[in-house]
Amino acid sequence: SVAFAEARSIEEEQMLTECPASLLREGENVQWDNPSTSSMRARFETMIRKAQDDICAAVEAVDGSKFHEDSWIRPGGGGGISRVLQDGNVWEKAGVNVSVVYGTMPPEAYRAATGGSSDNKTALDKAGRIPFFAAGVSSVMHPKNPFAPTVHFNYRYFETDAPRDVAGAPKAWWFGGGTDLTPSYIFEEDATHFHQVQKQACDKHDLAFYPKFKQWCDDYFLIKHRGERRGLGGIFFDDLNDRDPEVLLAFSSECANSVIPAYIPLIEKRKDTHFSPEHKDWQQLRRGRYVEFNLVYDRGTTFGLKTGGRIESILMSLPLTARWEYDHQPEEGTEEWKLLEACRNPKSWVPAS
Amino acid sequence: SVAFAEARSIEEEQMLTECPASLLREGENVQWDNPSTSSMRARFETMIRKAQDDICAAVEAVDGSKFHEDSWIRPGGGGGISRVLQDGNVWEKAGVNVSVVYGTMPPEAYRAATGGSSDNKTALDKAGRIPFFAAGVSSVMHPKNPFAPTVHFNYRYFETDAPRDVAGAPKAWWFGGGTDLTPSYIFEEDATHFHQVQKQACDKHDLAFYPKFKQWCDDYFLIKHRGERRGLGGIFFDDLNDRDPEVLLAFSSECANSVIPAYIPLIEKRKDTHFSPEHKDWQQLRRGRYVEFNLVYDRGTTFGLKTGGRIESILMSLPLTARWEYDHQPEEGTEEWKLLEACRNPKSWVPAS
């Protein structure tokens, strides 16, 4: 989303000693006793916090070690809860963040996000920066074993105020997110399982979702300067506001709930596979590519770095270790070459419905 | 330089089996028998190729292993010579690149580079993309020993054509470059020696250069999202065209010639220092910061990735290995903390003249 360009958050964070009940500003309609009457902001926060709890519990159960938690809040509202499991038994580094940001964005970002007509372009450009609200859960988990894949997911909700002094300009909102898989070696059955679970989640809401969001994912996770994708994709969507927000909340929840069944079985199958130092080196080179994508292209990372987000939470997505060899080219026909080919030419992992 | 924004090169490269005599387009006035009458393009190429030869020879003499060389050329002129020494005895990865690029840049980049008045702004914006020539030597050398510092240097020369259809618009040219030091541990005498050599090179040409370019270096190599510099600085300058180009060529040559006396003695002193796994981990974390700066902020890297430069040559600047630990904070008063403090608050390493 272009909304990420030049977005800014407003205040410095303060670390907390305990996890707060809510990261929202006071009075933003959290009806703990009757959640369905709560604001979308409140319900989205509830959803992402539950996703964080559930996924961390599933990862801890497999890894046998515990996440470390850091919480912070900004005086005027907003904040985050970062959980990281570093140098575990199964994962090299696994991070699951929840964050809520109150900030301002320039008018052109608002226009891009709302697909704005040119009618009120001049008025909008004069309106000045527009307040926004963003909440999301985001996670990257890098396992130790080179045959066990990395997963990333992120589900987020945005709202802007209506620009002041622009007659008829609407308040805007949209959903975004996705889940994608980045192995160093391909197991067809693993990729198929992962995509199948994404498709099932999509199909419950709209049969058009999976093909569209699978393609969007392949397009988004392109490391342009290399002409290769970060991994084997999954689903990705942004600026989604073309239907009832209730439906999109339900869809986002479905996707977040699908992370465990899509990913954990692959880890259980591959975490103890025997590997050589050469396998590990290849994994480390692929981790280097992960770093390239995240620092050069990823909007969430750029958004975080620019909005003065908490750096350690944003860069939790980077692997513990990575490697760059000059001009490394896997030999044709090898397992390493097959992975690279699949990153260069994304394929279809599940049959169309 | 804003000239880097949206610059594009024109053609695909072809790998060569031997190093070419020149990377310039044919007929660009190379007078091998009387170099002083050659064009600035030709003389700059001669200078950077000699710098590449000299520095590679000095590094090979210390390391005991040899650089691997790759040369390529583009059909219409331009190309490069990359030399890399990977997993040597002393250096983990050392790369020295020479490149010549013929491309086009948008008018706003030309205007920014020439400090253009607004007189012909409209005509200029209509003029379309402006052809440019860029030649440079650039190098990053990452040693293995955590007490031995990384060095980076880059010296470059730009020329643009005059924009077509813009009356009175000039052909533009400028020089840029710098040399900077990135240790993982501070030895005051090493930093002082390094800066002293930079200052001597500057002082021969203008006593105002060192203080100005030292400050520019501290400003440029800022990892904004962390509020810390990549290292201990050195000198950096860009868009330099305020005096006779002969003087600026001589100054650039002086700086390139100063890399060996500034850097090699530090390596000889530190390459065999005993170190622990903890020292190595800290070096790897600092290498992670190096990656962050280069991929997020460095103009040369961005320029290269956008102009369709040869990726392996551009990313040769990345370390062989790097590390990101969640929320790593060195304890106050430790050697690691001292380095971080110096990156946060740049100090003066040599007395003013």
Mean pLDDT of A170-196: 96
Q: A203 vs A51, A196, A209, CA distance in Å?
A: 20, 10, 7
Q: At which residue do the structure tokens 């990359």 appear?
A: B82
Residue A4 has pLDDT above 80, yes or no: no
Q: What is the pLDDT of residues B140-179, one digit of tens each?
A: 999 999 999 999 999 999 999 888 878 877 788 999 999 9
Active site residue B152: yes
Closest residue of chain A to B301, computed from CA coordinates: A296
Which residues fall within 8 angstroms of residue A53, CB to CB, at 6 or more apart? none
Q: Looking at residue A309, what is its pLDDT?
A: 75
Q: What is the least distance, in Å, from the CA of B40 to any CA of chain A?
A: 31
Q: What is the DSSP string of B274-297?
A: ---HHHHHHHHHHHHHHHHHHHHT
Q: What is the least distance, in Å, from the CA of A72 to any CA of chain B?
A: 14
Mean pLDDT of A28-52: 83
Nearest by CB to B323, from A296, A320, A325: name it: A320
Q: Looking at residue A307, what is its pLDDT?
A: 67
Residues from chain A that touch B314, judged by Cβ atoms under 8 A, are 225
Instruction: Tell which wins on pLDDT, B221 or B107.
Output: B221
Q: What is the pLDDT of residues B229-251, one digit of tens each?
A: 999 999 999 999 999 999 999 99
Mean pLDDT of A111-118: 65
Residues from chain B that touch A322, judged by Cβ atoms under 8 A, are 291, 321-324
Residue B138 has pLDDT above 50, yes or no: yes
Mean pLDDT of B29-44: 77
Tokens, residue B263: 């850097």
Beta-bridged to residue B81, according to DSSP, are: B71, B98
Residues from chain B that touch A95, judged by Cβ atoms under 8 A, are 326
Q: Where are the alpha helices (DSSP H) in A205-298?
A: 209-220, 245-257, 259-270, 277-296
Closest residue of chain A to B84, computed from CA coordinates: A326
Q: At which residue do the structure tokens 């090493």 appear?
A: B190
Phi, psi (5° rounding) for residue B143? -80, 165
Closest residue of chain A to B302, computed from CA coordinates: A296
Provide the pLDDT confidence category of residue B302 given band limits of 50, 70 and 90. Answer: confident
Average per-residue pLDDT for chain B: 90
Cα distance between the two ends of chain A: 29
Q: What is the pTM of this model?
A: 0.92
Q: Looking at residue B31, what is its pLDDT?
A: 66
Q: Where are the alpha helices (DSSP H) in chain B?
A: 40-63, 107-114, 121-126, 188-203, 209-220, 245-257, 259-270, 277-296, 299-306, 311-314, 335-344
Mean pLDDT of A276-304: 93
Element (H or E) spanning B169, and its range? none
Mean pLDDT of A55-62: 98
Average per-residue pLDDT for chain A: 90
Closest residue of chain B to A92, computed from CA coordinates: B325
Residues from chain B that touch A292, judged by Cβ atoms under 8 A, are 295, 315
Residue B112 has pLDDT above 50, yes or no: yes
Provide the pLDDT confidence category of residue B2 given band limits of 50, 70 and 90. Answer: very low
Residue B202 has pLDDT above 80, yes or no: yes
User: Per the residue annotation, which of B152, B193, B195, B279 is the catalytic one?
Assistant: B152
Q: CB-based burial of residue B53 (10 Å sphere; 0-12 exposed, 13-18 middle, 19+ buried)?
A: middle
Residue B1 has pLDDT above 50, yes or no: no
Closest residue of chain B to A302, computed from CA coordinates: B296
Residues from chain A that touch B311, judged by Cβ atoms under 8 A, are 225-226
Beta-bridged to residue B138, according to DSSP, are: B97, B154
Residues B86, A310: Cα–Cα separation, whole Å: 35
Residue B5 has pLDDT above 60, yes or no: no
Mutation pick from B297, B326, B340 vs chain A, by most beta carbons of A within 10 Å, is B326
Helix (H, G, I), strand (E, B) or coil at A19: coil
Percent of chain B with pLDDT over 70: 92
Cβ distance B305 to A225 less than 8 Å, yes or no, reads: yes
Q: Looking at residue B32, what is its pLDDT?
A: 62
Q: Could you give the count of Cα atoms lying within 13 Å of B351 in the half-sphere of its Cβ?
A: 1
Mutation pick from A307, A316, A326, A329 vs chain B, by most beta carbons of B within 10 Å, is A326
Mutation pick from A316, A324, A340 vs chain B, by most beta carbons of B within 10 Å, is A324
Q: What is the least distance, in Å, from the CA of A196 to any CA of chain B?
A: 33
Lowest mean pLDDT among B84-88, B278-282, B309-313, B339-343: B309-313
Q: Are B133 and B159 in contact (CB under 8 A)?
A: yes
Cβ distance B296 to A296 less than 8 Å, yes or no, reads: yes
Residue B73 has pLDDT above 60, yes or no: yes
Cβ distance B305 to A70 less than 8 Å, yes or no, reads: no
Nearest by CB to A291, from B291, B320, B326: name it: B291
Q: B36 vs A120, A235, B172, CA distance in Å?
A: 61, 61, 21
Closest residue of chain A to B83, computed from CA coordinates: A326
Q: Are B31 and B38 in contact (CB under 8 A)?
A: yes
Instruction: Tell which wins on pLDDT, B294 or B77.
Output: B294
Q: Looking at residue A2, what is its pLDDT?
A: 38
Q: Looking at residue A3, what is its pLDDT?
A: 42
Q: Could you give the count of Cα atoms lying within 13 Å of B105 in the half-sphere of its Cβ?
A: 26
Q: What is the pLDDT of residues A63-94, one digit of tens each?
A: 999 999 999 988 777 899 999 999 999 999 99
Chain B interface, Cβ < 8 Å to A: 68, 70, 84, 86, 93, 95, 224-226, 284, 288, 291-292, 295-296, 305, 311-312, 314-316, 318-327
Tokens, residue B321: 């290995």
Closest residue of chain B to A84, computed from CA coordinates: B326
Which residues fall within 8 angstroms of residue A246, CB to CB, at 6 or more apart? none
Cβ distance B325 to A86 less than 8 Å, yes or no, reads: yes
Provide the pLDDT confidence category of residue B281 given band limits of 50, 70 and 90. Answer: very high
Q: Looking at residue B76, what is its pLDDT?
A: 72
Cβ distance B324 to A315 less than 8 Å, yes or no, reads: yes
Residues from chain B that touch A295, judged by Cβ atoms under 8 A, are 291-292, 295-296
Q: Looking at residue B307, what is its pLDDT?
A: 67
| Amino acid (1-letter code) at residue B69 | E
Q: Looking at residue A76, what is its pLDDT?
A: 72
Mean pLDDT of A37-62: 95
Q: Strand (E) positions, B79-215?
A: 79-86, 91-105, 130-143, 150-160, 172-182
Nearest by CB to A86, from B291, B315, B326: name it: B326
Residues B180, B141: Cα–Cα separation, whole Å: 11
Cβ distance B326 to A95 less than 8 Å, yes or no, reads: yes
Q: Looking at residue A1, what is its pLDDT?
A: 39
Q: Looking at residue B26, what is its pLDDT?
A: 81
A-to-B residue pairs, Cβ atoms closer than 8 angstroms = 77
Nearest by CB to A319, from B225, B324, B327: name it: B324
User: Per the residue annotation, which of A68, A142, A152, A195 is the catalytic one?
Assistant: A152
Residue A5 has pLDDT above 50, yes or no: no
Residue B340 has pLDDT above 60, yes or no: yes
Mutation pick from B296, B327, B328, B329 vs chain A, by most beta carbons of A within 10 Å, is B327
Mean pLDDT of A155-166: 88
